[in-house]
Structure 1
């Protein structure tokens, strides 16, 4: 009689332990899934250039891009000899000569400034010819080149997404 009672209690404890393990497993999976989604949303802006996307054109985006591409307005300085601010030379259709092209097999974002935090001006297909405008900047651990398309559109692309054309 004692053995049956003991055996019954052991079976009941075993069922309770199994239920506890199942609930713990479900909670662990839910927390892991939530953590993955949270990390994906937080890291998406960092990897935006690795996943080509069509640009979203809204009035505020177009205005901001135009503002960023416009020549800067000079800021009055307290120095006695102010330095004039010149806008960068825009290549004309006759003087335009391709110096680089988009490398690889995936489309690349042409951005309004050197960094992934700037708006996408245009998405360029592989092999698109570009002209280097002579300006480079370091941003986000990458070297960015200031480039122009044949139609005069200017923007920035990371150097690792380009290949140089030999003259």
Structure 2
């Protein structure tokens, strides 16, 4: 059946309008009443104790970031439960860019394996902005230890596993 040209044109126009309307919703928009960001203090939540490597990094960043943005950048430590308490706080915060989290990958990769139910979605509640640092880990032994290589240490621990202990500052590493 051949349709009249007018019907075909109207269907094409309606379909195009639907697609364009859908795309318009995805475009960034600016509310006229909003001020320039940032216009108030920014809080960086550190989900670990004061003095930790993450806390020290956050304080160095805040010291440089505040003057560049012309607003105070406040560090707020919320330690506990392998970073879960701080991450949960940020996940519930207003998503306006004024409450950020500086954390290690443990809060978003290891804690889902440690806890059956988290008070936040590690992938859905956060947007990764930037990697700040990569912190190398080292395995060290006492200077007078009988082994001088990793292979020698592995052999010794396999021979007498109950004679050796391993310690780490992260709950997800022990």
Instruction: Report if TM-score (shorter chain) is over 0.5.
Output: no
Q: Which structure has more helix as a fraction of its residues?
A: 2
TM-score relative to the length of structure 2: 0.29
Larger Cα-atom Rg: 1
Q: Which structure has more strand as a fraction of its residues?
A: 1
